[in-house]
């Protein structure tokens, strides 16, 4: 079923072309997109809340079709889709592109992610992101891959990164529900090749292991932590870099083995003069003897990704 959904996404997206920057939507297209948004809102709710895996898969398939069909009209980039909680739509700081992404629960230990990169163009230029996270490479933090071999996560922030070999790149911050007892956050790097295709991963990090060994060719950062915790990974304009919480390995509470938990201290990545993002000393140094485990309740009945709080499906998915 999953691979059929991938095929649908690729088939629909591959037939689309582009030219020119997006302008103003025609009135008839505005109305059509508003109607599509209402249908998509129902499908997103079903994807996240229905207790039947078969129904969730079908809703995901229908959502793909609705999204691609809705976007396939002139200047669709100008339509914000701001009435779709749970379907993340994040813009590049220069608004040259945006990324749609969402998550589908397969079972309590498996999640699939769907996404697409839309360029800011008059006619549609859309590239499907294909989640290959379940069989990814042995060294996932070193891999440089195209959109058809994406790690898979819900994008919640895009920030400017810098330039590498004369090309601009962006940091893409993502969340993955991952497993019943573990979550993960991803600091990925996105740039576009000469053909304008999305490429994920660039060796722009100068970071070390806990034993002070340099991590060579690190192209992204993947942080896995216990499901009962929250972990900060964000861009901080005041500090001028990427802030992320330090993780401490502790015994799991439910027989799942050791898990990483935030210890109350934070690290900072800042851009050096050599163009590399370097790991500074911890910016907030308070630590706990035990990793904190309380999870703040999401506001407004929504979780981190804007999904309804009822995203806890009946067959044991747990909090997202």
Closest CA to 153 of 229, 220, 250, 212: 220
Q: What is the chain's mean pLDDT, rounded?
A: 86
How far is 257 from 227, CA to CA, in rounded Å?
Answer: 13
pLDDT value, residue 135: 80
CB neighbour list of residue 317: distance below 8 Å, 6 or more residues apart = 105, 108, 177, 311
pLDDT value, residue 134: 81
How many percent of the chain have pLDDT more than 70? 81
The answer to whether 270 touches 248, Cβ cutoff 8 Å, is: no
How far is 22 from 75, CA to CA, in rounded Å?
Answer: 5
Is the pTM higher than 0.95? The answer reads no
pLDDT tens digits, one per residue of 104-145: 999 988 999 999 999 999 999 999 999 998 888 788 999 999
- Name which of 71-80, 139-148, 178-187, 209-218 the model is least confident about: 209-218
Q: Where are the domains of the chain?
A: 1-131
Q: What is the CB neighbour count within 10 angstroms for residue 35?
A: 11
pLDDT tens digits, one per residue of 277-304: 999 866 765 444 444 444 343 344 555 5
Closest CA to 34 of 308, 16, 128, 26: 26
**Which of the four pLDDT bands, split at 50, 70 and 90, describes residue 261?**
very high
pLDDT tens digits, one per residue of 1-58: 555 555 455 555 554 444 467 778 999 999 999 999 999 999 999 999 999 999 999 9
pLDDT value, residue 319: 37
Q: Residue 75 class from Cβ within 10 Å (0-12 exposed, 13-18 middle, 19+ buried)?
A: buried
């Amino acid at each position: 079923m999953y691979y059929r959904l991938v095929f649908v996404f690729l088939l629909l997206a591959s037939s689309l072309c582009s030219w020119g920057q997006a302008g103003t939507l025609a009135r008839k297209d505005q109305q059509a997109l508003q109607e599509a948004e209402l249908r998509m809102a129902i499908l997103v709710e079903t994807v996240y809340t229905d207790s039947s895996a078969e129904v969730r898969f079908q809703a995901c398939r229908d959502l793909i079709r609705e999204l691609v069909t809705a976007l396939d009209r002139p200047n669709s980039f100008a339509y914000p889709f701001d009435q779709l909680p749970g379907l993340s739509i994040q813009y590049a700081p220069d608004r040259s592109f945006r990324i749609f992404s969402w998550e589908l629960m397969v079972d309590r230990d498996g999640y699939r992610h769907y996404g697409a990169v839309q360029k800011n163009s008059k006619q549609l230029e859309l590239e499907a992101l294909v989640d290959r996270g379940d069989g990814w490479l042995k060294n996932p933090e070193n891999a440089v891959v195209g959109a058809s071999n994406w790690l898979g996560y819900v994008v919640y922030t895009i920030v400017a990164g810098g330039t590498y070999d004369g090309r601009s790149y962006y940091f893409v911050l993502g969340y993955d529900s991952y497993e019943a007892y573990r979550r993960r956050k991803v600091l990925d790097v996105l740039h576009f090749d000469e053909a304008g295709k999305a490429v994920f991963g660039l060796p722009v990090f100068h970071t070390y292991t806990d034993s002070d060994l340099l991590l060579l060719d690190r192209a992204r950062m993947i942080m896995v932590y216990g499901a009962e915790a929250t972990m900060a990974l964000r861009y901080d304009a005041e500090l001028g870099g990427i802030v992320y919480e330090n993780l401490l390995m502790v015994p799991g509470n439910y027989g799942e083995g050791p898990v990483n938990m935030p210890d109350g201290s934070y690290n900072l990545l800042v851009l050096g003069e050599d163009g590399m993002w370097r790991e500074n000393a911890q910016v907030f140094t308070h630590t706990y003897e035990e990793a904190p485990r309380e999870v703040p309740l999401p506001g407004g009945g929504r979780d981190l990704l804007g999904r309804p709080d009822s995203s806890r499906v009946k067959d044991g998915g747990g909090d997202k």
